Structure 1
Amino acid sequence: MKKPSSKIREEIARLQEQLKAAETREAERIGRIALKAGLGDIEIDEEALLAALTDVAGTFRRGSNGGSTGKKRTAHDPSSESPSSPALTSQAAQPAAGEVEAHG
């Protein structure tokens, strides 16, 4: 039996709400991780940041070495080293325009 169009519209509206909630959860998770990584302190053009994050996403999509292991990574654990893109490495090594490098 075919569904009437009103039922299909209701289902679409419900799915759109679910999608919006899922995207919000994902954005909050990625945002928290980005802040922990120090990206909140860096003044960088949004397009440049998007390009660098796209490279990172590609790194994790390409191979099983880049995938999640379920293991929590820590800064002092050498096995937590993840491959980084050249764009991120070169940008992270240099302070953004207008920033002052802190010397210990």
Structure 2
Amino acid sequence: MARQQSRATIEAEIASLQRKLANLDKAQAERIGKIAVKAGLAGLDLTDAQLTEAFSELARRFRKEGAPEGREQSEPKPEGEGRSERKGNGTSEPDANPSGSSKKAHGGEE
């Protein structure tokens, strides 16, 4: 019969996983932030609430369009209540202009 791990060992593993999760969160936040700046969001005078709602709408859109079959999608939990899986096009890059509109329509140059 296998020997059980001690409480201290399990707590150390949990702490290690929490650090890994924090690092992943930081990397994803940086990635999303860079994309938001590239898309021109940094130049807009928006409140955090407005940005949160816009990102929530975007997440809902991708959950509906990109949901793998047989997998139920749930609404994101409010901040601090858990994590949701990454959804979207399955790559680390955003879809190239998924709306079909030009950059000029968003205040950028083509």
**Alignment TM-score, normalising by the size of structure 1:** 0.65
1-side partners of 2:31 and 2:47: how far apart?
21
What are the ranges of 5 or more consecutive residues in structure 1 without an aligned counterpart? 75-79, 84-91, 94-100
CA contact (8 A) 2:89 2:95 kept: no
Matched, 1:29 2:31: yes
Q: CA separation of 1:50/1:12 partners in 2, compared to 1, >3 Å: closer, same or farther? A: same
1:59-94 deviation per Cα after TM superposition (whole angstroms, max 9, x unaligned): 0111239941657755xxxxx3338xxxxxxxx98x
Matched, 1:7 2:2: no
SS at match of 1:63: helix
Q: How many residues align?
A: 81
Percent pairwise identity: 32
Higher RCO, 1 or 2 (CA under 8 Å, sep at least 6)? 1
User: Which of 64, 81, 103 in structure 1 is aligned with 2:66?
Assistant: 64
RMSD: 2.9
**Alignment TM-score, normalising by the size of structure 2:** 0.62
Q: CA separation of 1:72/1:24 partners in 2, compared to 1, >3 Å: closer, same or farther? A: closer
2-side partners of 1:72 and 1:51: how far apart?
19
Question: Which protein has the larger Cα radius of gyration, Structure 1 or Structure 2?
Answer: 1
Q: Which structure carries more helix by proportion?
A: 1
1-side partners of 2:94 and 2:41: how far apart?
20
Q: CA separation of 1:3/1:58 partners in 2, compared to 1, >3 Å: closer, same or farther? A: same
